[in-house]
């Protein structure tokens, strides 16, 4: 029997466990969380196939794949230990320094022949798969621009708050440029019913995952939607308690590239509740890891690790549906 451990059963982790159990009858799930009451509630809601492990995040486990779904900042040490034990790791972290540190595990993971899938949530995660799929239509990719709106659970909301006061990383002219988070306002048009949102630079890790996947790309940027209140209060502690789960969210990925002698742009997106979509992406990544369908060993984002078309097709079957912006599909909704 194949086993997947889910470490952290918040809004995303609980969805990961549910997705795995509902779609793969041959996989059982081990749940870990520091909150015993939450762990018990989630395990009971999942029924048979899920069992509780009361160890800490970094304690050894006898499983095939570990999904790190705890709050950002808790992923690195468990990832190191499980890679050292030869166990594949799937992390949903979207914290920029943690993503960089997880990518630094690449050499050790390659040596041990295990995969560390980094940034496997909504954005990064789904955004990386959309970028890879859009890029497959081009001979070479010049620019990738990612924008997202919405948050999952409370940990995601706190990370959204922190990202607006950090430093954004833009890949520009084949080098990194740091810009103040909250700058670079841009009106981005997301799939319906989200529609248009003002988006700003933020401390987002998408570039760190996309640049290695597209050698020669000239520009990679990531923005996220924010309200005026978000931007004004970004440098303060969160003034209101986080909501249990955010509302609808969306991703927009714009890829510019060359095909033959012409240049073109392709815009893909998805609209869903971020925690639900993130859970589906991480669960499918973990399932593919157990089946040996990830492209290589080592630490990388999903743009490098998965074949985007079958991955998106399987996500579509699970209810996470991608969309393409057609420039000639009639007037845009206002």
Partner 1 sequence: MKMLRRALVALGIAGAIAAVLRVRGTGGVPPQGGGWQELTDDAL
Which positions lie near partner 1, rule CB under 8 A? Answer: 133, 182, 185-189, 191-192, 196, 198, 228, 231-232, 268-269, 309-310, 312-313, 316, 321-334
Minimum CB separation from partner 1 for residue 333, in Å?
7
Closer CB to partner 1, residue 7 or residue 270? 270
Minimum CB separation from partner 1 for residue 190, in Å?
8
Closer CB to partner 1, residue 209 or residue 270? 270
Minimum CB separation from partner 1 for residue 313, in Å?
5
* C-alpha distances in Å from residue 94, one per residue of 99, 144, 241: 7, 18, 21
Q: How far apart are CA 324 and CA 113, in angstroms?
A: 36
Residue 274 neighbours by CB under 8 Å, 6+ apart: 121, 122, 123, 148, 150, 151, 152, 156, 246, 249
Q: In this structure, are residues 142 and 172 in contact, taking their beta carbons and an 8 Å threshold?
A: no
Minimum CB separation from partner 1 for residue 328, in Å?
6
Beta 27-32 vs 50-52: how paired, if at all? parallel
Minimum CB separation from partner 1 for residue 188, in Å?
8
Closer CB to partner 1, residue 107 or residue 232? 232
Closer CB to partner 1, residue 34 or residue 307? 307
Q: How far apart are CA 132 and CA 206, in angstroms?
A: 13
Minimum CB separation from partner 1 for residue 125, in Å?
17
Minimum CB separation from partner 1 for residue 146, in Å?
16
From the list 199, 161, 207, the residue with the least C-alpha distance to 183 is 199
Q: In this structure, are residues 157 and 242 in contact, taking their beta carbons and an 8 Å threshold?
A: yes
Closer CB to partner 1, residue 56 or residue 313? 313
Give the CA count within 13 Å in the CB-facing half-sphere of 120: 38
Closer CB to partner 1, residue 85 or residue 323? 323
Q: How far apart are CA 235 and CA 161, in angstroms?
A: 9
HEC secondary structure over 195-253: EEEEEEECCCCHHHHHCCCCCCCCEEEEEEECCHHHHHCCCCCCCCCCCCCCCCEEEEE
Minimum CB separation from partner 1 for residue 183, in Å?
9
Place of tokens 């972290």: 93
Q: In this structure, are residues 80 and 24 in contact, taking their beta carbons and an 8 Å threshold?
A: no
Running DSSP on this structure, what letter comes out for residue 297? S
Minimum CB separation from partner 1 for residue 295, in Å?
18
* C-alpha distances in Å from residue 198, one per residue of 25, 160, 195, 247, 267: 43, 15, 10, 17, 17
Closer CB to partner 1, residue 62 or residue 186? 186
Q: How far apart are CA 277 and CA 315, in angstroms?
A: 9
Closer CB to partner 1, residue 18 or residue 252? 252
Closer CB to partner 1, residue 121 or residue 269? 269
């Amino acid at each position: 029997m194949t086993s997947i451990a889910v470490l952290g059963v918040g809004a995303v982790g609980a969805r990961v466990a549910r997705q795995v159990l509902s779609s793969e009858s041959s996989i059982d799930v081990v749940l870990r969380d520091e909150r015993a009451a939450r762990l018990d509630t989630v395990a009971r809601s999942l029924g048979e196939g899920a069992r509780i492990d009361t160890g800490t995040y970094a304690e050894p486990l006898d499983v095939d794949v570990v999904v790190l779904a705890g709050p950002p900042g808790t992923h690195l040490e468990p990832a190191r230990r499980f890679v050292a034990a030869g166990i594949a790791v799937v992390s949903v972290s979207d914290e920029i320094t943690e993503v960089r540190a997880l990518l630094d595990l690449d050499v050790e993971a390659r040596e041990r022949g295990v995969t560390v899938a980094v940034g496997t949530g909504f954005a990064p995660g789904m955004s990386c798969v959309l970028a890879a799929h859009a890029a497959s239509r081009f001979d070479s990719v010049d620019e990738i621009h990612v924008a997202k709106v919405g948050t999952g659970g409370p940990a995601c909301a706190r990370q959204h708050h922190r990202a607006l006061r950090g430093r954004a990383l833009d890949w520009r002219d084949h080098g990194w440029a740091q810009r103040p988070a909250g700058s670079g306002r841009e009106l981005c048009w997301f799939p319906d019913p989200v529609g248009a949102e003002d988006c700003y630079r933020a401390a987002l890790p998408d570039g760190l995952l996309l640049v290695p996947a597209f050698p020669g790309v000239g520009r990679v940027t990531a923005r996220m939607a924010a309200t005026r209140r978000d931007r004004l209060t970004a440098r303060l502690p969160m003034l209101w308690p986080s909501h249990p789960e955010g509302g609808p969210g969306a991703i927009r990925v714009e890829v510019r590239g060359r095909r033959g002698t012409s240049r073109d742009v392709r815009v893909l997106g998805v609209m869903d509740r971020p925690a639900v979509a993130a859970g589906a992406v991480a669960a499918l990544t973990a399932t593919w890891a157990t089946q040996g369908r990830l492209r290589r060993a080592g630490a990388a984002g999903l743009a490098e690790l998965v074949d985007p078309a079958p991955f998106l097709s399987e996500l579509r079957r699970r209810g996470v549906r991608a969309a393409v912006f057609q420039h000639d599909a009639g007037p845009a909704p206002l």
